[in-house]
Structure 1
Amino acid sequence: MKNLRLITLLFLSFFVVTLASCDDDDEDKDPSRTDLLTAGLWTGNSVYYQGQDVSQFLRDSAQFEIKDLTTRFDKNGEYRETLGRTIVGTWEFANNEQDIIFDKGTNNELTVNVTRLTATEFYYEQDFQGTILEFRFLR
């Protein structure tokens, strides 16, 4: 009888240890910035200048509709930007993943500063000849 109790106790101990080791560590990890950026299509929502939404001004004065702009980033370092026509190029993070360099090493090279990146929001600042504009995208 003592052996049966001991075997039962050992079995229960083994079972509890086995259950505790089944914890999935991946659930606790936050997605990487690359995972957030490449998870789907980003659609333009607004453009800000010095804290003010200038989307309507750009629509009226420059015929630029931010909501028609979409961008998709792929993990292989390629992006597709569509605004009437589609542009395909390369992208990479820089400066500890705070900046994105588009088309590095080409005449079209452009660096933007990522100001917000979540699963549903992607904001970056871009310098247009001394004027800093913040482009806001949603998913």
Structure 2
Amino acid sequence: CFESQSVFDFDEALKTTGDTGVYLEYAHARASSILRKAEERGIEFDWTDESLPHQITETERDLLDTLSQFPSIVEKVGKTLRVSQLTEYAFNLATAFTNFYEHPDPDSKQQILFIHLQDPKLRSFRLSLVKAFKIVMGNALALMGMPRLERI
């Protein structure tokens, strides 16, 4: 008979980084906060062809690519019943969003929050990416039976 002890670490379980459920919930709550602040400031945005920038940054492209994988991941999970693929996808999505949020323009020395951007087309595009992330992450969380937190 094997005996082993496990020590539960609250600090580790509640980290907002890394492969934890809190990390996924925190990313969703962060997106909610960004959109709430935009609404409070009366910033309207709509993702149209006119709002697409001529060039997108690496972090924007990574987030777009990851977002676009969601339908095929859900289909694959439905066929294989390997829910771990959805969990892995959710962590990849949260990481892509965090990179986008922290470094929206990796080539720029000054990072400006999305709601403070002066270029309305770029602001609209980035806020639309945040909204798309919130929708997809919310759907992933719901499929995994996790809450979709608006605030943490």
Which of 1 and 2 has greater Rg? 1
Higher relative contact order structure (alpha carbons within 8 Å, sequence separation ≥ 6): 2
Could you state the TM-score of these two structures normalised by the residue count of structure 1? 0.28
More strand by share: 1
Could you state the TM-score of these two structures normalised by the residue count of structure 2? 0.27
More helix by share: 2
